[in-house]
Structure 1
Amino acid sequence: MGRAVRRVSCVRTTPEKRMAHHLNYRENAAQARRDADTATLANVRERCLRAEAAWLDMAEREERVAAARAIREAPRVIELI
């Protein structure tokens, strides 16, 4: 009748990982790259590469935000001391 299609997930997550998603953007990007490297279909490979780029963008954004927050909050810490 129909052929079974196995969908490749670009990122496999658990509930714990979803709760701490901001901590593992780079891990998700690495998983997406591994999935892209093992994909046999071009569209799946392209989707996984787009996912990798998005995860890396989120990681870089999170790092910029954390650095800006640290700079912004540094005077407050000094005042508290």
Structure 2
Amino acid sequence: MQGLACGIPCVVSGFRLQDELDGIVYLENLEPETIAKTIQRAVEEKLWVDVNKLKQSYSWETRVNEIENVYSFALKYRLL
């Protein structure tokens, strides 16, 4: 996330994000050749990072609102 916040494309492994973000390239596997090719592709394609979209999606305010919604839902249906 820190790299993306600075406008730097990132090569990542693991789970895909629910909301696809520009500037993220996912590794299909962790073989050294795959990693090298993926990094090379990210550099050559000069991937775009939408920093404003990232800030909106992952700001503290957005996260607080999401957590409040979860608690409101839980209280409404007496899940807590």
Q: TM-score range by the shorter chain?
A: 0.3 to 0.5
Looking at secondary structure, tell me which structure has more strand per residue: 2
Looking at secondary structure, tell me which structure has more helix per residue: 1
Structure showing greater Rg: 1
TM-score normalised by structure 1 residue count: 0.34
